[in-house]
Each structure stands twice: as C-alpha cells, then as structure tokens.
Amino acid sequence: MKFPRQYSLEEIANLIATEYVGDANFPVLGMNEIHVVQPGDIVFVDHPKYYDKALNSAATIVLINKEVECPQGKALLLSDDPFRDFNKLINHFKPFEPSNSAISPSAKIGKNTVVQPNAFVGNNVVIGDNCIIHSNVSIYDNTIIGNNVTIHSGTVLGANGFYYKKRPEGYDQLLSGGRVVIEDHVDIGACCTIDKGVTGDTTIGAGSKLDNQIQVGHDTVIGKKCLIASQTGIAGCVVIEDEVTIWGQVGTNSGITIGEKAVVQAQAGVTKSIEGGKVYWGTPIQEAREELKRLASIKQIPKILEELKKLK
C-alpha cells in the first residue's frame, strides 16, 4: 500500500507515538507485508523468529519490538506492539468510509456495463467496459474490475483478510487496507468471496473462470486462464500460476505456490507448493499417478497375507 505522498520517518513515528532510529527525514513511501515489500515500505515484525527476515527484506523501514542494530540504508520504528501500530497506520491511511448509496458517486463504471438492482458498488471502485454485475453482488471500496467481466449474485469482493493475533483477551484482527483486482474476461460465479489484500492486492488474472462458492484469501494471486471449481478454499498469500485447473472442494495452505498448468483433482489438500504441468490428488497432496499406485499396492495386502498363511 503506497501513501498519497512521501512521508518522513519522524512524521510516521509521530502518528503512532514511537521512537525511531535513523534520519528524521528518511523517506517513507508506504507499508506492506513481508512477501510484497519494496524499498520505501514499512514492514512490521513482533516475533524473534522473523527479526532477521524483516531486517534483511527489501523494506527500508522496520517496525519492531526490540532494540537492534539498524541495517545500513534503513530505519527503525521502535514499538512495544508493532501489530497494534501497524493497524494504526492502516486506519490512518485507509479508514473505513461509510456509503450513503447503493452505487457510490466516486465509483467509475465503464461503457455498456450493467449493474443489476440491489448490487452494491463502494467508494472508489472502478469497473471497466461490457461488464455484468448481477443483483446482490457487493463490491467493497477500492476494488478494480477490468473489461468484459461477469460477476454472479451473492458474490462479495473486498472483505477483510482472515488474519488475527491471539491475545489473552481474545483475537485481534490485522486490518485490511489493500484491494481486490479483477482483470479482463474473468467470470465469477454465485456466492464467491474474494478478500482484499492486507496491504497489497488480491488478484484474479485475465481469462480465469471461477465457479460458485469459492473462497479466495487475502493477497492471493491467481494467474491467467485458470479454472477453479465449486467449494474450493484458497488461503491467503497463495500464488496460483497461469492455466492451473483446480477441481471441487480443494483446500490449500497459505503461502504456497501452485505451478503453471498444474491440475489439482477434487477434494485434494494442497499442503505444500507443487510443480506445474502435473496432475495431483489426495491429502497431503501427491502426484496422482503415484498416489493411485500406492493405493493399488495397499489393496494387495490381504491377498499377500493369505498367501503367507498358506506357506506356514
């Protein structure tokens, strides 16, 4: 998420009432999660396991809960609770804006696009040309939709990511300040839910087709010409490369990659990253041919035991 202008390190520190290490005028351009950070971004870290990863990332400003040596060319924001202060920044730069109409006056809707009755189009939404948005679709703020897109009834674009920190008093949500981006020639079925990125974009690539009742988690990137069947649940921060086929009731872990032109058969559990160009099945996920061979071998066990009895 990029800020509307360049801020100084001191300005950001004042916003969240923290101390800082570095030049007061050190430039701050935005904030992002660790997997998408760029120079000029703030990244937060609040666990020793991830200190080195954050400090050595592309981010040049690290919001951290420990006094450490500041890497050359970077700056630190010292906080007793980086999670809380990251939320403060999201709330400051991307606060919730209530709408007073079904289609926000700030939304931009292209030529020949049809928005059916009872659909909701939020603030700063952009919808391209020749789209059909069916009734009871909810398009939250800042969503970007390309040309020739069809979205069926009951689908929600832009709900918050499922990202929580466990505290003694309960779960604290990491606020979502990112977007959903739908590229050209995408079809989305009924009752799908596509969560916005925490700070970046959740993206559906051009030409991809989603069936009904599919969940896509925050910051996931689905490539071009993918085919995803009903009741699939895709976790956050997943990368699905181009021309992948995913059949019904597949579930995935977060942070994995599914390679180009992979086929994942129904009810598989994608527990790890998988190579492209192969067919997969089962839980934990295995190449389908090898898994079927294994199952065939298991079926031979009773016969083998009977043969052993005869030899005794």
Model's pTM, two decimal places? 0.91
- The percentage of the chain sitting over the pLDDT mark of 90, rounded to a whole number, equals 90
Q: Which domains does the chain have, with CATH numbers?
A: 2-93 (3.40.1390.10), 108-291 (2.160.10.10)
Question: What would the two tokens of residue 241 be?
Answer: 């490369």
At residue 312, the pLDDT reads 67
Backbone angles phi, psi at 49, to 5 degrees: -60, -30
Taking CA atoms, 73 is separated from 41, 84, 168, in Å, by: 13, 26, 37
Closest CA to 124 of 196, 186, 57, 190: 196
Between CA 239 and CA 220 the distance in angstroms is 6
Tell me if 143 sits within 8 A of 122, measured CB to CB: yes
Pairing, β 27-31 against β 2-8:
antiparallel
At residue 23, the pLDDT reads 96
Between CA 68 and CA 64 the distance in angstroms is 9
Taking CA atoms, 17 is separated from 46, 74, 134, in Å, by: 17, 19, 46
Helices (H) and strands (E) in the chain, counts: 5, 34
Q: Give me the mean pLDDT over the 208-226 stretch.
A: 98
Q: Give me the mean pLDDT over the 245-250 stretch.
A: 98
At residue 153, the pLDDT reads 98
Q: Is the pLDDT of residue 272 over 70?
A: yes
pLDDT digits (tens, 9 = 90+) for 148-205: 999 999 999 999 999 999 999 999 999 999 999 999 999 999 999 999 999 999 999 9
Q: Tell me, what DSSP letter sits at residue 288?
A: H
Tell me if 32 sits within 8 A of 11, measured CB to CB: no
Between CA 258 and CA 252 the distance in angstroms is 10
Tell me if 184 sits within 8 A of 148, measured CB to CB: yes
The mean predicted confidence, pLDDT, of the chain is 95
Distance of CA 3 to the CA centre of its chain: 20
Which long-range contacts does 40-47 make (Cβ < 8 Å, 24+ apart)?
A: 42/12, 42/77, 42/86, 42/89, 44/82, 44/83, 44/85, 44/86, 45/82, 46/81, 46/82, 46/83
Tell me if 142 sits within 8 A of 182, measured CB to CB: no
pLDDT digits (tens, 9 = 90+) for 16-40: 999 999 999 999 999 999 889 999 9
Give the total residue count for the chain: 312
pLDDT band of residue 307 (cuts 50, 70, 90) is confident
Q: Is 92 a catalytic residue?
A: no
Between CA 59 and CA 76 the distance in angstroms is 11
Which candidate in 134, 152, 185, 218 is catalytic?
218
